[in-house]
Chains A and B, each alone.
Chain A
Amino acid sequence: MPDLSAPGPGRSGVIHDLGYRHFDGVREGSGAIARTLFTTGLRHAYGLGRSGKSKVMPFLLLAMSLLPATIVVGVVVLTGLADLPVSYADYTNQTQLLVSLFAAAQAPVLFSRDLRHRSIVLYLARPLSSHVFALVRWLSLTVAILLFTAIPTTVLYAGAMLAGLDKSDQTTDLLKALVLQVLLAMLVAGVSGLISSISLRRGFAVVGSVMALIVLTGIVTVVQNIAWYEADSETVPVAVGLLSPWSLVNGLANSWDAGVDTVVPVDGAWVPAYAIIAVLLVAGCLLGLVARFQKVGSR
């Protein structure tokens, strides 16, 4: 009678020896499971390893956000402009509609499907805890969104280098933009992931994410403009900017001199306030995700 599940001394493998065929390979631990889950999640966010139809939407959106960058590069190279007409950080801001749509469309792929089809129980039957599962999923989506924003900026940078623009200036601007993109990706992935894990019908998850990312930002912009131009207030526009992920990142970009214009400059004590709220928002979303997956996993 073969020993069914006893791993060797000091090992916690989960490859069961059912007596048909032995496994002599390396038994990797939870780290390997988490790494594989991360890579698979990242690939699925772009439809890789899924059906052809699943690839259409992410790559269509990526192509749309790349198109203006290639046009800008073409103009800069051909006309010999001394500077890019749009800063790296502002390019992400100008294409925010596409970034938000990408997040809203792909977050349900990573967060809704396992819960809706209850395949989550199969994942959680492995040694990976529900906490780690939720965090790894979030990391996949964060990196997917980061790539979505970083690829067009890299194309812009390559164009700027080809056109012979000042290397140190451009590199500083690019690095600033990349740091802001990391923060943005963490925020957007947290918000859209949390919404998709709560609202399991794809349509509602998408509309919910669109409300949180696009409608909310629209409201913030309208209120900021009205408060500044009609009511002549400086405090209200800056304070309202704390309310949406995009205005948070743009406010920080403005205070950091990364080439993004806001209605009212963000400075003084508002800068730490923006940073703290952004970090709290990410932490809150992660806590929400962990709690959500723990609840679903214990059912």
Chain B
Amino acid sequence: MNAGMMNATIAKLALQALLGRRRFYLLLAFPVLLIGLVVLITALTDGDAAYGVLPNLGFPLVLPLVAILAASSVLGPEVDDGSIVYLLSKPVNRYGVAISKWVVALAATLVAGALPILVAALITGDSTRAVALFVAAAVAGTAYSALFLAISAVTRHAVIASLMFVLIWEGLLGNLFSGIAWLSIGQWGLRIGHAISDELPDPASLPYAVVASLVVTVVGVWFAGDRLRSFSLRGEA
């Protein structure tokens, strides 16, 4: 990715779209919920019970939800109400638009999704495991935000489509069929985290997980830019 493609103004506008008014509180709710729950359970039980929250709730649910919220709100509302044409009528490279928006979504995902997972994991003890989970969350969050940005550029139903990918494909079907780990962003992240701490599961091969995460990220952002390049306005019925 070329840093010269970043457009500071577009990034600033995307940040405002993300954090404006009440939306900020919805985004804030996720880390507060996660850390609050872990603190509560750590205080009330002995042993390693609180850690169970992270692989069961924090990593597979909170992290992708934050990524969906971030990616869809930097692009979604503009596509939704059609005001994206004013942005696209400016002489700015469309890939630059996509990259600028993706960087903002990525930053939000890391701050409100991956960082709370690190904090919560540190509260449960075992700092190696915490760092491993953070790396897993950062890798998965990066790929998630690029994929969801690409989905946002394609359809008005981006949030539901992204949710179906996370909840039904990765969650429901991923639990039934272990082979889905090869096509699951969350599992790739966990595999990379497994290289740091053996406490994380080992669902796929490491080189594959690294390459697949990288490909999804690059192709996702490129595809979002490509969709913006050939964007056409359609009415809603």
Do A and B bind? yes
B22, A199: Cβ atoms closer than 8 Å: yes
Size category of the B interface is 35 or more
Contact size range, A: 20 to 34
Cβ-closest chain B residue relative to A95: B172
Q: Are A207 and B171 in contact (CB under 8 A)?
A: no
Give me the interface of B with A, judged by CB distance under 8 Å. Answer: 22-23, 26, 29, 33, 37, 41, 44-47, 49-50, 52-53, 56-57, 61-62, 65, 68-69, 72-73, 76-77, 80, 156-160, 163-164, 167-168, 171-172, 236-237
Asked if B69 and A207 make an inter-chain contact with CB atoms under 8 angstroms apart, the answer reads: yes
Q: CB-CB contacts of A193-235 with B at 8 A, as 1s and 0s?
A: 0000001011110111011001100110011011100110000
Contact string against B for A residues 36-62, beta-carbon threshold 8 Å, 1 for contact and 0 otherwise: 000000000000001101101100000
Q: Which A residues lie at the B interface, using CB under 8 A?
A: 50-51, 53-54, 56-57, 64, 97-98, 101, 104-105, 199, 201-204, 206-208, 210-211, 214-215, 218-219, 222-223, 225-227, 230-231
Mostly, the B contact residues are: helix
List 11 A-B pairs, Cβ < 8 Å.
A97-B167, A101-B167, A101-B168, A105-B160, A202-B159, A222-B53, A225-B52, A226-B45, A226-B50, A230-B45, A230-B46
Cα of A203 to Cα of B62 in the assembled complex, Å: 16
Cα of A230 to Cα of B124 in the assembled complex, Å: 15
Q: How far is the CA of A198 from the CA of B127 in the complex (A)?
A: 41
Please, how many angstroms separate the alpha-carbon atoms of A206 and B152 in the complex? 14
Q: Which of A50, A210, A231 contacts B237 (CB 8 A)?
A: A50
In angstroms, Cα B50 to Cα A230, docked, is: 10
In the assembled complex, which residues on chain A have CB atoms less than 8 Å from the CB atom of B156?
A: 202
Question: In the complex, what distance in Å separates the CA atom of A53 from the CA atom of B22?
Answer: 30
Q: Is the CB of A203 within 8 A of B172?
A: no
